[in-house]
């Protein structure tokens, strides 16, 4: 059985920390001009159902930097052939599959039918684990590796990015608060399970006071890919939840601002906040490259 990277909960705390340390060493190495050959002679198929800037470019660049070859293609899963058949084909040819899908079950199914090639989740409607790995790498750079007592306020939709933060909090003790309008909470069963496993607190509130004292404030688009038809309603419902200077003032005075990007400036975040010295959004984006290289170099054998 190959190990996949579908959700952070596939990994222990120790394994997550090893991936992060490895990402740090790959980052330092590439900046020092090191030749990295972890993927020499290996091919990675990247199948994407949704648009991407960061995920696509960082995976392709990462594979190239490690001496491998990446094949990107846009596809609709389950239309031309079954997901299982697509997986059984790819598994005969390539050494790893990176998939960005609408349905989380499709990434799970690809993994089920890829016996040889590990499958890496490049974002689904449920999770975005590569993002959180890169975010945590950036947070460690800014505030150290110890997350004890660390509070992150996620302001906005209880979406895939929030869910992966909840998964991280199931493994590494920290406090996580989702601050969202009523009706946009994460799935209650999933949250109950996360709370049962988390050493820290996982809270959900519609009160902006939930941001008070946070060491990091995170936001994401109000309408995720695939929810475009809900964009107008969401724009109205989320209006009060914009991360602006007055909301940031509730957080710790040294609080960092994070966003997975792409950002809709003027909606979920103001220019003033995203362009402020507290913002580490481009460090997060940079680390997508290094964190994913650590995942690939660990999984592809």
Residues in the site for ligand NVA, rule: CB under 6 A? 123, 159-161, 220-221, 224-225, 260
Q: At 269, is the secondary structure helix, strand, or coil?
A: strand
Cis amide leading into 262 (omega within 30): yes
- Min separation Cβ 65 and ligand CP, Å: 18
| Helical packing angle, 83-93 and 104-113, nearest 10° | 50
The partner in contact with residue 175, picked from ligand CP, ligand NVA, none with C-beta cut-offs of 5 to 8 angstroms by kind, is none
- Min separation Cβ 207 and ligand CP, Å: 27
- Between CA 66 and CA 37 the distance in angstroms is 5
CA distance readout (Å), 82 to 78, 107, 110, 160: 5, 13, 10, 25
Q: Note if 220 is an active site residue.
A: yes
Q: At 52, is the secondary structure helix, strand, or coil?
A: coil
Closer CB to ligand NVA, 38 or 234, in the complex: 234
The partner in contact with residue 177, picked from ligand NVA, ligand CP, none with C-beta cut-offs of 5 to 8 angstroms by kind, is none
Among 4, 24, 135, 220, the active-site one is 220
The partner in contact with residue 71, picked from ligand NVA, ligand CP, none with C-beta cut-offs of 5 to 8 angstroms by kind, is none
Q: Note if 128 is an active site residue.
A: yes
| Residue 239 phi, psi (nearest 5) | -45, -45
In the complex, which residues of this chain contact ligand CP (CB under 6 A)?
52-55, 123, 131, 260-262
The partner in contact with residue 267, picked from ligand NVA, ligand CP, none with C-beta cut-offs of 5 to 8 angstroms by kind, is none
- Between CA 138 and CA 259 the distance in angstroms is 12
Among 104, 170, 215, 288, the active-site one is 288
Which positions are catalytic? 100, 128, 131, 220, 260, 288
């Amino acid at each position: 059985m190959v190990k996949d990277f579908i959700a952070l909960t596939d990994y222990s705390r120790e394994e997550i920390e090893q991936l992060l340390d490895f990402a740090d060493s790959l980052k330092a190495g590439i900046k020092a001009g090191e030749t990295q050959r972890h993927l020499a002679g290996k091919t990675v198929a990247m199948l994407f159902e949704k648009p991407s800037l960061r995920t696509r470019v960082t995976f392709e660049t990462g594979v190239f930097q490690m001496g491998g070859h990446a094949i990107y293609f846009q596809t609709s899963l389950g239309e031309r052939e079954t997901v299982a058949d697509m997986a059984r084909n790819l598994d005969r040819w390539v050494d790893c599959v990176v998939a960005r899908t609408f349905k989380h079950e499709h990434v799970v199914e690809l993994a089920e039918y890829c016996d040889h090639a590990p499958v890496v989740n490049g974002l689904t409607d449920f999770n975005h684990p590569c993002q959180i790995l890169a975010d945590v790498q950036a947070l460690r750079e800014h505030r150290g590796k110890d997350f004890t007592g660390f509070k992150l306020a996620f302001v906005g939709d209880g979406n895939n990015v929030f869910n992966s933060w909840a998964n991280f909090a199931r493994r590494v003790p920290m406090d996580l608060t989702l601050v969202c309008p009523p009706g946009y909470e994460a799935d209650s069963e999933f949250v109950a399970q996360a709370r049962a496993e988390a050493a820290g607190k996982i809270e959900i509130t519609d009160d902006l006071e939930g941001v008070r004292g946070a060491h990091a404030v995170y936001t994401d688009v109000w309408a995720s890919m695939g929810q475009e038809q809900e964009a107008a309603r969401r724009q109205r419902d989320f209006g009060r939840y914009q991360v602006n200077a007055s909301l940031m003032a509730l957080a710790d005075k040294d609080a960092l601002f994070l966003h997975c990007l792409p950002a809709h400036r003027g909606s979920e975040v103001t220019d003033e906040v995203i362009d402020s010295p507290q913002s580490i959004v481009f460090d997060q984006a940079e680390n997508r490259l290094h964190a994913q290289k650590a995942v690939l170099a660990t999984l592809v054998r």
